Amino acid sequence: MIDQNQVESFKKIAEQAGLSGVAYIDFNPNAGLVRLKLSVTPVEGQGLLTSNFATVLAQASQMFGLQVKVHEDQGEKAGARP
């Protein structure tokens, strides 16, 4: 698990990069569902931070022995289809 020193370290990095915002987490343990919505300021940092979250989630899943399949939607709106 991440300890408090690591949390503070990551906070400092984000602060230096000028990133702030809100993470909305919606989950249903019985259904195995986890949904994350990030609202990042400045908006230019949102894509990178979202990609980084997806990478961390994929790596954590692999650490639990799960097979990981990732789909990246390039649409402008959530749920958009090409």
Domain borders along the chain are 17-63
What is the pTM for the complete model shown?
0.74
- Of 6, 17, 57, nearest to 36 by C-alpha is 57
Provide φ and ψ at 37, rounded to 5°.
Answer: -125, 125
Token pair 């399949």 is at which residue? 69
Residue 30 has pLDDT above 80, yes or no: yes
Confidence of residue 77 (pLDDT cuts 50, 70, 90): low
- In the prediction, which pLDDT does 26 show? 97
